[in-house]
Amino acid sequence: MGKTVIIIAGPTAAGKTALAIRLASHFKTAVISADSRQCYKEISIGTAKPSLQELQTVPHYFIDSHSITEEVNAGIFERLSLQYAAEIFKDRDVAIMCGGTGLYIRAFCEGIDDIPAAPADIRLKINEQYATEGLEWLQKEVQERDPAFYAIAEIQNPQRLIRALEVLYTTGQSITTFRTANKATRDFNIIRIGVTVPKEQLHANITHRVHAMMAAGLVEEVRAVLPYRHHNALQTVGYKEIFDYLDGKITLEEATELIIIHTRQYAKRQLTWFRKDPAIQWFDARDTEGVMKYINTRLH
């Protein structure tokens, strides 16, 4: 059996981190994070990074690896994560990848195509319309014109939606078609595991986590990154709502409630994305024994 990467995917707050750390401890190996926000060292509370204790238990890659002043995307992640895997494989046979950013996981497993850049006039047109008609117009336009992308998009994130429209207007095709055309082959084995918990439990976990984030100082964290508020990583759940609170648009209670609602919606979209992957074997996140059994049958 050659080198193997075990991927733990699934919705936010399902218990991926705890499981990944258990597996990494068992195999005496490291974890590669597949999360589009945990790589930024300035944002930790709102991104639900592993705790200090967890980070000390097993080595992690792609956590606190970048500054919010840098732009990271799926193409960059593909390149870096393959380097991380190669590094881990120098003295170990197994590496663990854990995260909920579906596009990053797909880029690692299958590669990502170069998505064409849009001409300046198209970009300008979309940005002008967004400036006058707002996020709702953007969401509606993407939902109608590119439903495939809308189904899995971070719909609170205008940058992502604008990018999808740029590609659509430029090429006439959904941005999602550029992600599957030529699958790269990898010289290691990949075991894909999806974990979740029953819906009521997931919702309870999300509510609990959001209140814990608020108690841990999320507002202060967001205040500290105000100068970078237009950065892609901050156009996301947990940050946008607090920006609205700091702008005086909503109360802190409303912001907290909205974070819970938007996180639930995001978790649902993550599940939709991962369930479309037939290579993923699903487990209850608490069923460590079942996961271990499955991995052992695939390793031998």
**81 touches 34 (CB < 8 A):** yes
Q: Of 179, 195, 211, which residue is a domain's last?
A: 179
Q: In Å, how far are 5, 31, 110, 197 from 82, measured between CA atoms?
A: 11, 13, 11, 30
Task: Provide, rounded to the nearest whole percent, the portion of the chain with pLDDT above 90.
Answer: 76
Same domain, 168 and 211: no
**8 touches 98 (CB < 8 A):** yes
**43 touches 233 (CB < 8 A):** yes
Provide the pLDDT for residue 71.
Answer: 81
- Between residues 112 and 10, the one the model is more confident about: 10
Provide the pLDDT for residue 179.
Answer: 61
d(CA 256, CA 46): 12
- Annotated binding-site residue? 183: no
- Annotated binding-site residue? 111: no
Same domain, 164 and 243: no
Provide the pLDDT for residue 12.
Answer: 97
CATH code for the domain in which residue 45 is found = 3.40.50.300
The total number of structural domains in the chain stands at: 2
- Annotated binding-site residue? 236: no
Same domain, 289 and 207: yes
Residue 112 main-chain phi, psi, to 5 deg: -135, 140
Same domain, 212 and 144: no
Tell me the pLDDT tens digit for each residue of 34-73.
999 999 999 999 999 999 999 999 999 999 999 998 888 8
Q: Of 141, 156, 179, which residue is a domain's last?
A: 179
Same domain, 168 and 37: no
Provide the pLDDT for residue 151.
Answer: 83
Parallel/antiparallel/unpaired status of strands 4-9 and 189-196: parallel
Provide the pLDDT for residue 121.
Answer: 84
Same domain, 194 and 295: yes
Encoded amino acid at 118, one letter: A
CATH code for the domain in which residue 150 is found = 1.10.20.140
Tell me the pLDDT tens digit for each residue of 117-159.
778 788 888 988 898 899 999 999 999 999 888 888 888 888 8
Same domain, 279 and 147: no
- Annotated binding-site residue? 116: no
Same domain, 196 and 139: no
**Which of the four pLDDT bands, split at 50, 70 and 90, describes residue 178?**
confident
* Residue 114 tokens, joined: 């170069």
Same domain, 26 and 14: yes
* Residue 234 tokens, joined: 């901050």
DSSP string, 71-137: ---HHHHHHHHHHHHHHHHTT-SEEEEE-S-HHHHHHHHH--PPPPPPPHHHHHHHHHHHHHHHHHH
**7 touches 97 (CB < 8 A):** yes
Provide the pLDDT for residue 294.
Answer: 98
Tell me the pLDDT tens digit for each residue of 79-90.
999 999 999 999
Same domain, 53 and 190: yes
Tell me the pLDDT tens digit for each residue of 247-299.
999 999 999 999 999 999 999 999 999 999 999 999 999 999 999 999 999 99
Domain span including residue 162: 120-179
Q: Of 147, 179, 211, which residue is a domain's last?
A: 179
- Annotated binding-site residue? 10: yes
Provide the pLDDT for residue 123.
Answer: 84
How does 267-295 read in b/e, with b if 16+ C-beta sit within 10 Å?
bebbbebbeeeeebeebebeebeebeebb
Provide the pLDDT for residue 210.
Answer: 98
- Tokens 């990949």 sit at which residue? 190
Residue 276 main-chain phi, psi, to 5 deg: -75, -10
**171 touches 117 (CB < 8 A):** no
Task: Answer whether residue 180 shows pLDDT above 60.
Answer: no
- Between residues 78 and 183, the one the model is more confident about: 78
Same domain, 159 and 278: no
**Which of the four pLDDT bands, split at 50, 70 and 90, describes residue 181?**
low
Beta strands in the chain (DSSP E): 4-9, 31-33, 60-61, 94-98, 189-196, 281-284
- Annotated binding-site residue? 15: yes
Same domain, 18 and 107: yes
